[in-house]
Amino acid sequence: MKTKIILDTDPGIDDVFAILFAQAHPDIELKAITTVYGNATIENATRNALYIKQKYQLQADVVTGASQPIIRPPVGPTVVVHGEGGLGDVKVPENIEGQADPRPAYQYIIDTIKAEPGEITLVAIGPLTNLALALQADPSIVDLVKEVVIMGGAFGENNHHGNVTPFAEANIHDDPHAADIVITASWPVVVIGLDVTEQSFFTREYLDQLRDDAGEVGQFIWDISRFYLRFYSEKVGLEACHVHDPSAIAYVINPELFTLREGPIRVVTDGVAEGMTIQKLDSRVYPHDEWMDKAPQKVGVAVNNIALLELYRRSIIDYATSLK
């Protein structure tokens, strides 16, 4: 049985890796792409999503979401990582067919969850503003969603702590107030953070082979990856890129690829540790405990990276073959 997902995303090079992964795999029904600021402005994020929908004839709705955080000042698009438009060296055509759904993303999320109770998995691979706005507008959705899978955060496992500050991951840092609202809500959350996403690598050789084996789709992934790999080479010192956003899709397809641990999570919303994610792992009752009354959530702490990389590769190759 297919898992129906709404993919909340800020496309974004690795977001496109994830969109194509979700579209490619037969166990996922990609119902919608809801956009959010982050890697790109909301205008560019939505244009990029509409471009991918047109290019690959996706059936998913595209829905425009939040343009800025709930409270904190905007950080601005991540141009150094994803380029001016969000897709690196690839320029989106001026004329794109189709339009976004007229509803704001948070309302689309509410409407879809209520129309199909217990069937929708929210997969959030950008800042969590749209999900927080949906919760604020209709708290009842916590009892109607199937699962919430988040690519974000870092908990210090495998020595991974942060990527935009020493202790914060980018998606959470972009809107820590939204993240705290979403992660402390009483719906089932799985956080796939840097602890596992930085354990998997798309190497230059891997992407070259995908280009050679996956037709036009592989070529497109290769094309948008050029800017991304330059960033990793020049700024991070890697001749590869981490498998961030596709890891969340991989979890939806095959949760057994990941080892999880459980406990309530809080997000630091200001100060020097703004955006830091902290999970309480003991059951001790403390005199002051901002975790005690929050729902326990799951965090990925280990991954079968070899199987994950093969799952991605095989999914994209099979998808490319189906388009011929």
Which are the catalytic amino acids? Answer: 244
Q: Are 5 and 123 in contact (CB under 8 A)?
A: yes
By three-state DSSP, how is residue 84 classified?
coil
Q: How many CB atoms lie within 10 A of CB 54?
A: 16
C-alpha–C-alpha distance, residues 139 and 142, integer Å: 6
Residue 202 CB contacts under 8 Å (≥ 6 apart), including other chains: 17, 225, 240, 241, 242, 243, 309
Q: How many residues does the chain have?
A: 324
116 burial type by CB count under 10 A (0-12 exposed, 13-18 middle, 19+ buried) = middle
Closest to 296 in 3D by CA, of 315, 283, 313: 283
C-alpha–C-alpha distance, residues 259 and 246, integer Å: 17
Closest to 52 in 3D by CA, of 83, 89, 12: 12
Q: Encoding tokens for residue 29?
A: 């029904």
- How far from each other are the two terminal CA atoms of the chain, in whole angstroms? 25
C-alpha–C-alpha distance, residues 114 and 116, integer Å: 5
For tokens 């950080």, the residue is: 75
By three-state DSSP, how is residue 29 classified?
strand
Please give the single-letter amino acid code of residue 110. Answer: I
Angle, helices 245-253 vs 13-24, to 10°: value is 20
Largest CA distance in the chain: 63
